[in-house]
């Protein structure tokens, strides 16, 4: 988090022209990247604040208006969401294009390093991009000018070491458990052996995992649908009739294509039991839906299934066949359209711009929901 604060403060100072010191003959008015000034800075701050309604609860603290609050105890999480979450979208068209392209390389690296897991190939790509970011920072901002040497702070070069640190993280985790400095490496190997044995015991008998056992206690009203997924209130107390034609067509299409079954137009087959929330076991998130959310709170519950995003209208249980004992958990989803490939490629996948609901309504198995993302309104240029 210290890095987020340090690099965020540097970029903020450059883009707003509020860097602490400027040395002659350099002037702030000569900076081509100083674009967050005047009404533009105020409008950008309002846009950041407006995006809070589209951030899921699992995203932690939403960012306040930076134009008003950046000097009033702005938290590290707020810097993170503002710069590296909302920045690629809200700064597009404001920063000169070459500076925006340079910035999105840093965003890609930081997002990759904050993932729960990553691959060797991804780390190699991140290291390549961070080298390009460091070199281009000196050519775009510093420009090899002596009076601008204070631009090149430690936070500019830190990401190069962060990529390497990922590889050494396990050694550091085990090293923190060592209590005897004598025979350090022998103790380190014993800690690694002990952790492997403990993980093996948890895999053979889950009762050894106290945290998992405590988490297995379901809250009142929760429906366990298997594989760690849970449907949570609010939940319909009686089956409801599907009201709209578009939702009924989506259900018919799903049954005929995925189950090779003929849809029965009998009234009993058009009733469903809606649920508001779905707990995702892999990422520890709760995916809300449009039906179960209040307008005063975060209501965006989008999901990436493969390469698609959509807004969940509601989750529901439905008996595909009359002989089914247990209803099948499904989700009614308004699917976003195809993303803008140019922006997606230029931003290394950090900026996904698509039209809401362009691909229509679709029914999918609830267990195919992978994670919760935020889709904010993209500023028109």
pLDDT in tens, 58-71: 777 889 999 999 88
Residue 5 has a CB neighbour count (10 Å cut-off) of 15
Contact call for residues 208 and 350 (beta carbons, < 8 A) = no
Q: Which residue has the higher pLDDT, 207 or 277?
A: 277
Q: How many whole angstroms separate alpha carbon 35 and alpha carbon 261?
A: 58
Q: What are phi and psi of 99, to 5 degrees?
A: -75, -35
Residue 219 has pLDDT above 90, yes or no: no
Quickly count: other Cβ atoms within 10 Å of residue 258's Cβ: 12
Statement: residue 321 has pLDDT above 50: yes
Q: With a cut of 60, say whether residue 300 has pLDDT above it.
A: no
Residue ranges of domains in the chain = 2-172, 177-212, 218-368
Of 169-173, 290-294, 301-305, 321-325, the poorest mean pLDDT is in 301-305
Do 350 and 107 contact (CB within 8 A), yes or no?
yes
Considering 101-110, 154-163, 207-216, the range whose residues carry the highest mean pLDDT is 101-110
* Residue predicted with more confidence, 59 or 90: 90
Given pLDDT bands bounded at 50, 70 and 90, which one contains residue 46? very high
Query: What is residue 103's predicted lDDT score, i.e. its pLDDT?
Result: 94
pLDDT interval class at 238 (50, 70, 90): confident
Spatial CA neighbour of 349 closest among 373, 368, 313: 373
Q: Tokens 């989506």, residue? A: 250
Looking at the predicted structure, is the pLDDT value of residue 41 above 90?
Answer: yes
Reported as a pLDDT band with limits 50, 70 and 90, residue 52 is confident
316, 225 in Cβ contact below 8 A? no
How far is Cα 136 from Cα 144, in angstroms, rounded to an integer?
11
Peptide bond into 234 cis (omega under 30): yes
Tokens 């000097």 correspond to 71
Instruction: Quote the mean pLDDT of the chain.
Output: 82
Instruction: Tell the residue number behind the tokens 């698509």, with chain if given.
Output: 354
Question: Which residues are paired to 306 by β-bridges?
Answer: none
Q: Say what the pLDDT of residue 196 is.
A: 85
- What is the pLDDT confidence band of residue 306, given thresholds at 50, 70 and 90? low
pLDDT the model gives residue 295 = 39
Find the farthest-apart pair of alpha carbons in the chain and give their distance in angstroms, rounded.
82
**What is the torsion angle, in degrees rounded to the nearest 10, for the CA atoms of residue 306, residue 308, residue 312 and residue 317?**
-40
Beta-bridge mates of residue 256: none
Instruction: Give Cα 274 distance to the centre of its chain.
Output: 26
Q: Rounded mean pLDDT of 324-329?
A: 83
3-state secondary structure of 189: helix
Q: Does residue 36 register a pLDDT over 90?
A: yes
**Regarding predicted confidence, which is higher, 299 or 78?**
78
CB burial of residue 250 (10 Å; 0-12, 13-18, 19+)? buried
pLDDT digits (tens, 9 = 90+) for 117-159: 777 788 888 888 989 999 999 899 998 889 999 898 888 888 7
Report the distance separating Cα 109 and Cα 319, nearest Å.
45
What average pLDDT score do residues 204-226 get? 71
Q: What per-residue confidence (pLDDT) applies to 211? A: 61
């Amino acid at each position: 988090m210290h890095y987020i604060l340090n690099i965020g403060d540097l970029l903020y100072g450059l883009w707003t022209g509020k860097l602490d010191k400027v040395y002659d003959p350099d002037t702030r008015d000569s900076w081509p990247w100083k674009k967050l000034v005047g009404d533009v800075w105020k409008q950008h701050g309002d846009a950041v604040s407006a995006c809070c309604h589209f951030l899921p609860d699992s995203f932690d603290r939403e960012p306040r208006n930076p134009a008003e609050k950046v000097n009033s105890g702005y938290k590290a999480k707020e810097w993170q969401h503002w710069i590296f979450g909302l920045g690629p979208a809200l700064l597009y068209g404001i920063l000169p294009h070459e500076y925006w392209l340079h910035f999105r390389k840093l965003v890609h690296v930081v997002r990759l390093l904050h993932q729960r897991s990553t691959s060797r190939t991804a780390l190699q790509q991140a290291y390549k991009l961070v080298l390009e970011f460091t070199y281009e920072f000196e050519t775009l901002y510093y420009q090899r000018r002596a009076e601008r040497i204070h631009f090149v702070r430690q936070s500019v070069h830190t990401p190069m070491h962060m990529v390497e640190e990922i590889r050494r993280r396990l050694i550091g985790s085990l090293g923190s458990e060592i209590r005897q400095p004598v025979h350090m490496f022998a103790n380190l190997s014993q800690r690694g052996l002990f952790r492997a044995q403990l993980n093996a015991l948890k895999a053979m008998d889950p009762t050894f995992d106290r945290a998992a056992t405590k988490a297995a206690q379901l809250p009142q009203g929760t429906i366990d649908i298997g594989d760690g997924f849970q449907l949570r209130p609010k939940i319909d107390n009686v089956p409801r009739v599907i009201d709209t034609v578009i939702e009924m067509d989506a259900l018919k299409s799903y049954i005929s294509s995925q189950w090779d079954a003929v849809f029965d137009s009998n009234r009993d087959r058009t009733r469903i039991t809606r649920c508001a929330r779905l707990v995702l076991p892999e990422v520890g998130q709760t995916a809300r839906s449009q039906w179960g959310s209040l307008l005063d709170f975060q209501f965006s519950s989008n999901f990436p299934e493969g390469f698609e995003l959509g807004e969940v209208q509601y989750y529901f249980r439905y008996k595909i066949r009359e002989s089914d004992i247990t209803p099948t958990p499904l989700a009614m989803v308004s699917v976003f359209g195809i993303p803008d490939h140019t922006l997606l490629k230029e931003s290394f996948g950090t900026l996904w711009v698509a039209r809401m609901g362009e691909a229509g309504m679709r029914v999918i198995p609830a267990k195919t929901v992978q994670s919760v993302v935020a889709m904010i309104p993209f500023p028109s240029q």
